[in-house]
Structure 1
Amino acid sequence: MPIATVNPANGETLRRFEALDDAGIEQRLDAAATAYGQYRTTGFTERARLLNQAAGLLDEDQQDIARTMTIEMGKPVKAARAEAAKCAKAMRWYAAHAEELLADQHPSPADVADSGASRAYVHYRPLGPVLAVMPWNFPLWQVVRFAAPALMAGNVGLLKHASNVPQTAMYLEGLFRRAGFPAGCFQSLLVGSGAVEAILRDRRVAAATLTGSEPAGRSVASIAGDEVKHTVLELGGSDPYLVMRSADVARAARTAVTARVQNNGQSCIAAKRFIVHTEVYEEFAERFTVGMSHLTVGDPMQESTDVGPLASEQGRTDLEELVDDAVRQGARALCGGGRPDGLAPELERGWFYAPTVLTGITPAMRIHHEETFGPVASLYRVDGLDEAVALANDSPFGLSSNVWTRDADEARRCVRDLEAGGVFFNGMTASHPALPFGGVKRSGYGRELAGQGIRAFCNATTVWYGPEPVGH
């Protein structure tokens, strides 16, 4: 795939970039290693000062970087601004909390004595240069949720961003440089996917994190495993959205629309499978379908637009194939089901797809098991919680889940039984710097954000002192 900015709203190639050659990659790896040797010894106060500087610059740049993201991958510009604001918030959160999250951990005095020590504790140290392989769908946020904790822990970052968001990638490198981080602390590598293996195998790279597709995760995990390097993977998701009979159906249906079409439906944590109790199914289906069909599809630069284009022509083709397969096998589109009508002439070459609600889904259909990366919802009817949970778990993925219920027993059972990295009640899944984020099954392993995220790329060092005091 060429490294280029291609506007998905009209298919126009705006700018191309040359990939780094071997010499360029070598120079950047060497710079990362040199920077780490110096940056790792800085204190939390200095790291926080630099990260707060970056947050302030990002606030100033919000409108410009939002337009860049929209041009490169098609998200509505109002959503792009919100993404930039969220990134600045996360930077400030880690600047404020990193020191306490990485504070030395002390066992009980009894356990220290039982170990034969006069003193013992756990100390967190950085690992080194971390390679981040990141996708295009949240081109700022998915980088920052790695970079903010990694930099506060004393690591340095090497970003291999998706090839269709090169200007966003270069912006991020420039942002950290302008904030005053030492040269080499955060670098964007404009390379294709074929260059990742050699970079990951390089002795100067200590670990890797990847957000992306399951095949990409398998590849990075296998390479890192061969090199015995730590990884964190956040892969696909086909999140269930359970609506039980005690739910506020009107609010559940309104929220469901946003939960499905956020980021033009191209979000791993977007709700995709809507599993509704039969007693409220008809009401929910009607409200949800009306909400989906009334969304404004169009130019993502317009403030009134709810759903912009998919990020690539191939992405739209993949979505069309999933929907067409389901319809051929008996599924029914309550709305949408194809490319939208009535687009402005200048958008006719864009990669748009109409918000769609499908019903009559069966396990024989591809869409039952595969992730739909676009504004397409699968609607299911169930007779009770047992059937709902079984259907929710009938997926290779387990990223997050949403449950609408006012029944405390149902809530406890969902926490116990849903196979997911998160359970969100009476609302939609969202990430927040104070809450760990990640999945199970083929949605990956490890956690980003919160304390788990910053400690993911640290060496938990056991420090043990014998009976004879040091220094006496």
Structure 2
Amino acid sequence: MRIYPIIVDGKEVDTGKHATFPDMDKVVVDPGIAIALQMRDTSAMQRLVFSRLPSFIPRSAPEMRYLRDYRRAHGVPRYSKDELDESTYAEVAISREPDIEGALSAGVRDRPKLYNPFKLLSTGVTLDERVEALYQAGLAIKKRFQEVRDVSVKEGVPIKTFEWTWTMFTEYLERETFELWGRDLDLKEAPGRDGGKNFQFREPYGVTCLFTPYNSPLALGILSITSSILAGNATILKPPSKVPLSTILLGQAFLQTFQEMGLPSAMIQVLTGGGKTLMDRFTSDRRVGAIVWYGDSDTGIELWSEATRRRIQMAPELAGSDACLVWGRDVNLDFAAKMIVKGRFLGSGQACMAVKRLLVQDTLHDDLVRLVVEEAEKLQLGRPSDPDVSLPPLGLTAMYLLLDQMEDARAKGAKVVTGGFRCNYLSEPDTAGLFYKPTVLTNVEASMRVMQEEVFAPALPVLPVGSIDEALRVANASRFGLRSSVFTDDQSVSLRWAKEIEAAGVSVGQDHLYFDPHMPHLGGYKDSGIIGAKYFPVMLTRMKYVHSGPAAEFL
């Protein structure tokens, strides 16, 4: 069995303390495997409660609700030691306090070597050199396509989803991309009114810690890592606890390239462990300059506040409840339906930036719903290794939030047009299933939880609107403001929507999930991020200026 190490100060370290990860391609077929592996590592009392006293299993957390549901639906899973060993795919080394301390110390030591704003010989890595290093690392990552794909499938990512992600986000690993992002970081010179010179440049925060998310470890891992390194930070990468393997592979590829180029060893390091434990550790350490974090808004805003109080720059990526509007006399409904279904259900809806509320001109409602349902019913869930499958299992937090949201919607009169049930990998109803059938809801009201909260799962509420005023009022009533999209044949509608929608990004007549290197890196309004759209390399640096008088010798 392969052991995935952490990376500290240029060295891969097996700490001797490991977390076990099952083969999700097998767990999807038989979820009892994961429960049996979990029970193997628990106390005798916990095993007794699960097997003999299931009514005493707490209901407080999604993980506990799942154990209750599985026990009620399928009983106690029983496997031999050999069967469980065969279902275990990998182990991951877990960071210890000396590893964390070593990584932070290395970051502080190498910080002055990682940026060189004045491009002086032997005073640090210049922006141009960081661009070249990232480009070379990108080439190395692309050569490992098969390995990264195979590991991602074992983590539960369907081949179709992986290939879409790979195609889109490996385009970011081009020299032109890093040169484009670097323009905002580079030294700028302007004349002073006194005959001297004014200079300004972006200075890295130093040690920067990246908490990348489970729902898109490859795409957002690439985006976060490259942004922090381009900015000149000593980067510590914390992979998502649920799916750390592919992220560790990324870290290894970057490290190997940087070492071959003779770059400082703290340019990229990888630490594993509990997210809360490491966040508490980093926010309490004065050596940490910046943090990137992805997650729900309530937790994120609290962390952001704490980081600010401790004078740590934080770049949070928070929740969204993106509204999409379809309006017009001759709007292409077929194209809109395809883009809406992709924008809602990719990754089983587990994306912060996704179509989560569909607003449609009332006269188009029935036709669009029919087309959306047709497209949604083409989607296939199942084993990640099946090339026809595009929908992965749901995370347990997302699953139980959706179940509660759907109960609320039904109680308030929503109509389920398609889907609406939990299921196993064969799409058979299963009250302990890991999947949820793609769902379209009509007869919804603005007061329903599916309209008020983020739905981080494959369910789409559709609301007819009679005017653009009404559409904007409904869309902007949300506490979130990440991205929005509009499909219309009326230019005045798209212009008004782009101006008045309270969201950081707007897609007009295109895939809601569309990205290219010229676009900002997410960001939002209100509880989706407050500050609007942002570029990570800029946010992970701070502006510094220098004025040299007319008689001063500077540059």
SS at the partner of 1:440?
Answer: strand
Q: 2:357 aligns with which of 256, 262, 273?
A: 273
SS at the partner of 2:144?
Answer: helix
- The structure, 1 or 2, with the larger RCO (C-alpha pairs under 8 Å, 6+ apart) is 1
Residue 48 of structure 1: aligned partner? 131
Deviations 1:174-202 (A, max 9, x none): 11111125322112211212231221221
Q: Is the 8 A contact 1:210 1:217 kept in 2?
A: yes
Larger radius of gyration: 2
Residue 34 of structure 1: aligned partner? 109
Matched, 1:243 2:326: yes
CA distance in 2 between counterparts of 1:21 and 1:382 reads 55
Q: Which moved more, 1:333-342 or 1:277-286?
A: 333-342
CA distance in 2 between counterparts of 1:117 and 1:50 reads 38
Residue 459 of structure 1: aligned partner? 542
Q: 1:185 aligns with which of 243, 248, 267?
A: 267
Residue 5 of structure 1: aligned partner? 21
Residue 325 of structure 1: aligned partner? 408
Matched, 1:141 2:219: yes
Residue 91 of structure 1: aligned partner? 173
CA distance in 1 between counterparts of 2:149 and 2:109 reads 33
Q: Where do 5+ consecutive residues of structure 2 fail to align?
A: 1-17, 35-87, 116-123
5 Å-filtered alignment, 1:131-280, equals 131-181=209-259, 182-192=264-274, 193-246=276-329, 247-280=331-364
Counterparts in 2 of 1:91 and 1:200: CA distance versus 1, 3 Å: farther
Counterparts in 2 of 1:348 and 1:366: CA distance versus 1, 3 Å: closer
SS at the partner of 2:460?
Answer: strand
CA distance in 2 between counterparts of 1:163 and 1:55 reads 24
Q: 1:123 aligns with which of 178, 201, 222?
A: 201
Amino acid aligned to 1:86: M
Counterparts in 2 of 1:189 and 1:123: CA distance versus 1, 3 Å: same
CA distance in 1 between counterparts of 2:195 and 2:271 reads 46
- Measure how far apart 1:269 and its partner are: 0.9
CA distance in 2 between counterparts of 1:357 and 1:163 reads 31
- Measure how far apart 1:277 and its partner are: 0.2
- Measure how far apart 1:153 and its partner are: 2.2
Deviations 1:277-303 (A, max 9, x none): 011111101111121123222222111
Q: Is the 8 A contact 1:142 1:211 kept in 2?
A: no
Residue 64 of structure 1: aligned partner? 147
Q: Which moved more, 1:256-265 or 1:82-91?
A: 82-91
Amino acid aligned to 2:200: V
Q: 2:386 aligns with which of 298, 302, 306?
A: 302
CA distance in 2 between counterparts of 1:292 and 1:83 reads 20
SS at the partner of 1:232?
Answer: strand
Residue 76 of structure 2: aligned partner? none
CA distance in 1 between counterparts of 2:533 and 2:280 reads 23
Counterparts in 2 of 1:414 and 1:364: CA distance versus 1, 3 Å: closer
Amino acid aligned to 1:409: S
Amino acid aligned to 1:33: V
Amino acid aligned to 1:229: I
TM-score, normalised relative to structure 2 = 0.78
Matched, 1:415 2:415: no
TM-score, normalised relative to structure 1 = 0.91
Deviations 1:107-150 (A, max 9, x none): 5x5xx31xx45211212222211111221111021122122122
- Measure how far apart 1:440 and its partner are: 0.8
CA distance in 2 between counterparts of 1:316 and 1:88 reads 30
Matched residue pairs, number?
461
Counterparts in 2 of 1:47 and 1:471: CA distance versus 1, 3 Å: closer
Q: Where do 5+ consecutive residues of structure 1 fail to align?
A: none
Give RMSD over aligned pairs. Answer: 2.4
- Measure how far apart 1:453 and its partner are: 2.7
Q: Which moved more, 1:117-126 or 1:199-208?
A: 117-126
CA distance in 2 between counterparts of 1:224 and 1:315 reads 26
Q: Is the 8 A contact 1:3 1:166 kept in 2?
A: no
- Measure how far apart 1:363 and its partner are: 3.2
Matched, 1:444 2:519: no
Q: Is the 8 A contact 2:209 2:238 kept in 1?
A: yes
Q: Is the 8 A contact 2:217 2:246 kept in 1?
A: yes
Q: Is the 8 A contact 1:76 1:303 kept in 2?
A: yes
